[in-house]
Amino acid sequence: MTFLQLDSLSKRFGDFNAVQGFSLDVARGEFISLLGPSGCGKTTTLQMIAGFVTPSAGRILLDGRDISPLAPEKRGMGVVFQSYALFAHMSVAENVGFGLDMRKVPRAERAKRIQQTLSLVRLEGLDKRYPRELSGGQRQRVAIARALVIQPEVLLLDEPMSNLDAKLREEMHIELRAIQRQLGITTILVTHDQVEAMTMSDRIAVMHGGRIVQIAAPLDAYERPESPFASTFLGRTNALAGTVLERKPHCCVVRVGARTVHVPHDGREVGDAVNVYVRPEKLRLTAGGEGALPGRIRTRLFLGSHWMLEVDSVLGTFRVSQPNIGTPPPTEGEAVNVAWSDDDLRILDAEASHG
């Protein structure tokens, strides 16, 4: 059942359409990520939900109530900003309790809720410290606690982990997701980090040009992209331009360069110009054999958990991801063969690749 409904939201700044006809239904307790590059409208959308920006058109409904006309403090939203926006002259307890002060919560109740929330975010015993005395991860927890202590109906997160180092960011993905599940709080996260979105979300709304181009669970969004933009933004991919030669019941035969490939898709017509996509981790290096594509390694990069290879072939340059199994793959300049399973190929309209 829908709890938060964004109904045809749009926002114009002069002649610029930052958000266009944005509609999204969010269930109670669901974690949704708005994922996209800078300028795609995701932060503007979050600010409209919070009440900091007035929509040019559309409505925002919370549990059936139209909250579009309400001021930010009347909407029941908890917000965590990218900068954390902590008050430097206030202690941790005072920062966390600020929203309770504004709501005139009685002192005893305020103290109880502050301590409960600090415990929730693992900041017990730090209530008297000031932001300058905390690490980056601790400051982020204070910002999260301040948003949660008012017991909001919706938690809004505006790229809250972008200032953390990679290791701490990964830890906070796990920790924040655990807190969200424990509380069952409806959460909207704005991020440009694909890993962050896939790690934390129930569903991902991929945004481009002020619109949603795909809304799906992380695995579905990654494995079955619905647009060239979604395919290329949500993880790395290899794209091959081709033409449909033949339709079969469950696949298309596509000519790519001098080769043909079988793509599991039945919605294309003979003669259609298409792009065939395959993820780097779906490719493998083989000794040769039927269907293998000869190539030569141009670049070999070691990334710890895996190797990223660039392989030149007659069809172009492929990126191939190989897991680190303790021994290095072939060296730069070495001849190799690249193979894939037809089930791992995806097909999208070539003309949509620019839109």
Low-confidence ranges of the chain (pLDDT < 70): 266, 350-355
Would you give the end-to-end CA distance of the chain in angstroms? 33
Domains 2-232 and 284-339 share a fold: no
Q: What is the pLDDT of residue 197?
A: 94
CATH class given for the domain over 2-232: alpha beta
Q: What is the pLDDT of residue 269?
A: 87
Q: What is the pLDDT of residue 266?
A: 67
Spell out the domain ranges in the chain.
2-232, 237-279+342-355, 284-339
Quote the DSSP letter at residue 8. E
> For the chain, how many residues are written?
355
Which sign, positive or negative, has the C-alpha torsion 224, 229, 230, 233? positive
Q: What is the pLDDT of residue 350?
A: 65
**Per CATH, which fold does 284-339 belong to?**
OB fold (Dihydrolipoamide Acetyltransferase, E2P) (2.40.50)
Q: What is the pLDDT of residue 76?
A: 87
CATH of domain 237-279+342-355: 2.40.50.140
> Which residues, listed in sequence order, are joined to residue 311 by a DSSP beta bridge?
297, 318
Q: What is the pLDDT of residue 227?
A: 87
Q: What is the pLDDT of residue 352?
A: 45
> Which residues, listed in sequence order, are joined to residue 301 by a DSSP beta bridge?
308
- Per-residue pLDDT of 160-172, as tens digits, reads 888 788 888 888 8
340 within 8 A of 290, measured Cβ to Cβ: no
Distance CA 247, CA 177 (A): 44
What does pTM read for this prediction? 0.89
Give strand ranges (E) for the chain: 2-13, 16-27, 31-35, 57-62, 65-66, 77-80, 154-158, 186-191, 203-208, 211-216, 238-247, 252-256, 259-263, 273-278, 284-286, 293-302, 306-313, 316-323, 335-339, 346-349
- Per-residue pLDDT of 213-239, as tens digits, reads 999 999 999 999 988 899 889 889 999
> Which residues, listed in sequence order, are joined to residue 190 by a DSSP beta bridge?
34, 158
